[in-house]
């Protein structure tokens, strides 16, 4: 039996709930300072859970230019969740503020332009679709170039967590790009069920990695807690003297 779109999202709700339970258990194992660093990653499980509850109910899903629903809740999850995680990845590398803002901007720009390209017809929509490809290339360049170079100066445990999150992002960018290219509203190689299933599978893998990997890296979070009082240092002007 082929699952409906809403049933596929309901499975995502269950998985997100499991992520939340694991996150709560892991949080109890951290000291106070480490917990401050870990909380936002546990919060990603809440974001995923409520996002999938909304999608399972068809909330905020206008019909796009190709006649299929565009789930704005999904893109909202990406803006908040991936935006923060991308900035924190830059902080792990102790990258200068301009590169932390660049990776956050590229991730958010890619998300908004991708959604806009599906909703806005004509030349404007085509321009947004092109912008999504450009921002994807920019994100990959920042991750593999400046951030990777900056990460060579930090401790081994911290550099290892950076490398894992960087690789999760690269996997996610490429998976979403290929899914969008092959989906029902573009080349049409994937039908409705496959499009929804693959996108949901990618969400679970990427969000799962961004939730579970930091929460199982207490050594790296300890070094971050020693240097930064808050994970919001992502937006601080300097990191240990780096401008």
What pLDDT digit, counting tens, does each position of 117-172 carry? 999 999 999 999 999 999 999 999 999 999 999 999 999 999 999 999 999 999 99
Identify whether 215 is part of a domain: yes
Residue 188 pLDDT: 67
Domain count, the chain: 1
Identify whether 182 is part of a domain: yes
**Which two structure tokens, joined as six digits, stand for 26?**
């892991």
CATH assignment at residue 15: 1.20.1070.10
Identify whether 57 is part of a domain: yes
Residue 187 pLDDT: 65
CA 107 to chain centre: 8
Identify whether 240 is part of a domain: no
Tell me: pLDDT of 67 over 80.
yes
Tell me: pLDDT of 242 over 50.
no
**Which two structure tokens, joined as six digits, stand for 226?**
């020693």
What pLDDT digit, counting tens, does each position of 8-21 carry? 899 999 999 999 99
Tell me: pLDDT of 192 over 90.
no
Q: Which residues of 46-85 are buried (b: 16+ CB within 10 A; e: fewer)?
A: ebbbebbbbbbeeebbeebeeebbbbbbbbbbbbbbbbbb
Residue 120 pLDDT: 95
Residue 151 pLDDT: 97
Question: Quick one: average pLDDT of 13-31?
Answer: 96
> Within 13 A of 109's CA, how many CA atoms are on the CB side?
18
Identify whether 181 is part of a domain: yes
Tell me: pLDDT of 225 over 60.
yes
First and final C-alpha spacing in the chain: 57
Tell me: pLDDT of 61 over 90.
yes
**How far is 70 from 77, CA to CA, in rounded Å?**
13
Residue 185 pLDDT: 61
**How far is 41 from 37, CA to CA, in rounded Å?**
8
Identify whether 229 is part of a domain: yes
Contacts of 24 (CB under 8 A, 6+ apart): 42
What pLDDT digit, counting tens, does each position of 102-128 carry? 999 999 999 999 999 999 999 999 999
For residues 41, 214, 206 and 230, what is the CA-based torsion angle, rounded to 10 degrees?
40
Identify whether 241 is part of a domain: no
Question: Quick one: average pLDDT of 174-181?
Answer: 87
Backbone φ and ψ for 4, nearest 5 degrees, come out as -80, 170
**At what angle are helices 83-92 and 218-227 packed, to 10 degrees?**
80
Identify whether 135 is part of a domain: yes
For residues 169, 170, 173 and 176, what is the CA-based torsion angle, rounded to 10 degrees?
-100
Domain that holds residue 176: 5-235
């Amino acid at each position: 039996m082929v699952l409906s779109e809403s049933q596929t999202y309901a499975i995502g709700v269950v998985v997100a709930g499991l992520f939340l339970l694991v996150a709560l258990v892991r949080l109890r194992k951290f000291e106070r300072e480490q917990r401050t660093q870990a909380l936002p990653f546990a919060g990603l499980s809440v974001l995923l859970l409520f996002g999938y509850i909304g999608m399972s109910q068809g909330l905020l899903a206008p019909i796009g230019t190709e006649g299929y629903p565009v789930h704005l809740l999904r893109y909202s999850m990406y803006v908040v969740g991936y935006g923060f995680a991308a900035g924190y990845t830059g902080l792990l590398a102790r990258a200068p503020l301009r590169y932390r803002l660049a990776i956050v901007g590229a991730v958010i720009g890619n998300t908004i332009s991708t959604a806009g390209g599906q909703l806005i017809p004509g030349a404007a929509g085509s321009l947004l679709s092109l912008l999504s490809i450009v921002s994807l290339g920019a994100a990959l360049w920042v991750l593999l170039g400046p951030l990777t170079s900056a990460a060579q100066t930090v401790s081994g445990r911290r550099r290892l967590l950076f490398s894992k999150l960087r690789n999760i992002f690269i996997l996610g960018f490429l998976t979403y790009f290929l899914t969008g290219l092959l989906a029902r509203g573009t080349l049409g190689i994937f039908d409705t069920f496959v499009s929804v299933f693959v996108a949901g599978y990618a969400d679970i893998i990427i969000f799962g990695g961004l939730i579970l990997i930091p929460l199982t890296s207490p050594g790296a979070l300890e070094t971050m807690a020693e240097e930064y009082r808050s994970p919001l240092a992502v937006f601080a002007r300097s990191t240990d003297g780096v401008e």
